[in-house]
Amino acid sequence: MEDLHRVKIWDPVTRLWHWALAIVVVMGWSFGKFMSFSTIQWHFYCGYAIIGLLVFRYLWGFTGPKPVRYRALIPTPSGTFAYLKDIGKRKPSGTPGHNPLGSLSIIVMILLLSAQAASGLFIVSDDFFESAPLAHLVSDAVSNRLTWWHKLLSKYILAIVGLHVAAILFYLLWKKENLIKPMITGWKWVRSLSESKQ
């Protein structure tokens, strides 16, 4: 590819984390949306798995490889605006790691999932006679409020996941940049630092 070179960006741990989170989120949402007496426990199990994966990611932001650390994930305003100027061009961005918009979507997604998982620890499902493990620590009013937030946040998570998929398709079809393959193989076509600043 013109002006691009192939670089190993995503390490195996990050790639495994990414796909594990994607699978568990989809499963958790499905078990929640189509909940029954036989699936409610699986919804809880998915929630516990998501909490574990999120805790790992928060720690991984301090100790993981350079592309997954907080310094690389949090975009600067100037970098974001510069990126937005060229977003409509029909050529790969060649960003090493996440592009600024991708970074923002990842941050929003992690924060939404964190709030969703945290609220889920305190809810009570009267329809299925089940309580989350920390529900006994709060009043019924607080539990009901957190249950309301849990249901609302699931809609926001569905929206951000849909936006994430739409962005991947936009980059694939319009910018001719495959963002899925690097998260499978670890290798990505990127521009040199000097070229990316032009």
Mean pLDDT for the stretch of residues 46-52? 96
Mean pLDDT for the stretch of residues 55-81? 93
Beta bridge partner(s), residue 187: 8
Collect all residues with Cβ–Cβ distance below 8 Å to 84 and sequence separation of at least 6. 100, 101
> What was the pLDDT predicted at 32?
85
**Predicted confidence (pLDDT) at residue 196 exceeds the cutoff of 50:** no
CATH topology of domain 5-196: Fumarate Reductase Cytochrome B subunit (1.20.950)
Q: Left, alpha or beta for 94 (phi > 0: left; psi -120 to 50: alpha)? A: left
> What three-state secondary structure class fits 50?
helix
User: CB 2: neighbour CB atoms within 10 A?
Assistant: 6
- Strands (DSSP E) contained in the chain are 5-8, 124-125, 130-131, 187-190
Domain spans in the chain, listed from the N-terminal domain onward: 5-196
Write the CA distances from 42 to 24, 25, 114, 143, integer angstroms.
10, 12, 18, 20
Contact 160, 105 (CB under 8 A): yes
> What three-state secondary structure class fits 181?
coil
Collect all residues with Cβ–Cβ distance below 8 Å to 124 and sequence separation of at least 6. 130, 131, 132, 135, 140, 143, 144, 147
Q: Identify the CA nearest to 132 among candidates 140, 147, 142, 120.
A: 120
For the segment 130-175, what is each residue's pLDDT rounded down to a tens digit?
778 888 899 989 998 999 999 999 999 999 999 999 999 999 999 9
Q: Where residue 2 falls among pLDDT bands split at 50, 70, 90?
A: low
**Predicted confidence (pLDDT) at residue 192 exceeds the cutoff of 90:** no
